[in-house]
Amino acid sequence: MPLVPDDYSLHVKRAVAHYWQTLVRQSKRQKKGDADRGARAAVTGGKQMNGFCDLVSWLLAKNEMPEASIYTDAELTLPGFYRPTKKWDMLVVHDGNLVAAIEFKSQKGPSFGNNFNNRAEEAIGTATDLWEAYEKGAFGVQRPRPWLGWVMLLEDCDGSTGAVGVDEPHFPVFPEFKGSSYAKRYELLLRKLVLQKLFDGSSLLMSTAKGGPRGGYAEPASDLSMKKFLAGLAGQVRTYKASL
């Protein structure tokens, strides 16, 4: 059986549609006329990325990982080194071994600037903390080492795709950031997280508010595709099972 079944894209579309449809439902539940509260609730409700948990759970099941080893709702906390604990969005723990830990993040307008910086700091800090804890033996003897993944769903709109300036009061920024959009910055961030071995897999999806509720999405970079992300995770599971 292939690492990633051919119909994986249908599950990705369902996850994207679930995200947008959940935002709409959450907003409608807010008091009529309280636009600010409704918009905030729509992105802090905590359930909009559950479709991606379902997607990855489906992939894990296809690669014979027991359902009891997949955590998406509870028991999601792992020890850290610089802080006591960190709650992940999804864990795979089998027979006392941490097989994988995954984060699912999203961002829609209008505040792309501050949110991008927060997401970048969160990703870098989360991975750095876990790997230091791993090196200090927090997870016991691992075979193989844990697989870390980061998935980002970004709204495709003028605010995310337009060029953004940078401040350079003392030293020049790296050239790839000059004139880049927030979408491009996310692409650079996710690619560098893997290249620097902070994460083992990352995926960047973009979706418009109009097409998203029907499952429409785009992948701006082939090396950050969902298929590649899922294949990396499936490979981890098979390597782990072969080590038993």
3-state secondary structure of 153: strand
Domain ranges of the chain: 8-243
d(CA 153, CA 70): 22
CA distance to 18, 33, 47, 171, per residue, from 30 (Å): 19, 9, 16, 46
Whether the predicted pLDDT of 232 surpasses 90: yes
pLDDT at 143: 78
pLDDT tens track for 22-79: 998 887 776 455 554 444 443 444 589 999 999 999 999 999 999 999 999 999 999 9
Across the range 6-31, mean pLDDT stands at 90
pLDDT at 49: 95
d(CA 124, CA 113): 17
pLDDT at 42: 39
d(CA 77, CA 242): 26
Give the pairing of strands 201-207 and 147-155.
parallel
Nearest to 50 by CA among 77, 23, 68, 28: 23
Q: Tokens 């292939």 — which residue?
A: 2
For residue 87, the one-letter residue type is: K
Q: What percent of the chain has pLDDT over 70?
A: 93
Alpha-carbon torsion, ordered 193, 194, 195, 198, to 10 deg: 60
pLDDT tens track for 139-176: 988 778 999 999 999 999 999 999 999 999 999 999 99
pLDDT tens track for 70-120: 999 999 999 999 999 999 999 999 999 999 999 999 999 888 988 999 999
> CB-based contacts of 117: which residues, under 8 Å, 6+ apart?
none
Specify the fold of 8-243. Answer: Restriction Endonuclease (3.40.91)
* Cβ atoms of residues 155 and 207 within 8 Å: yes
3-state secondary structure of 31: coil
> CB-based contacts of 111: which residues, under 8 Å, 6+ apart?
none
For residue 101, the one-letter residue type is: A
Give the pairing of strands 97-107 and 147-155.
parallel
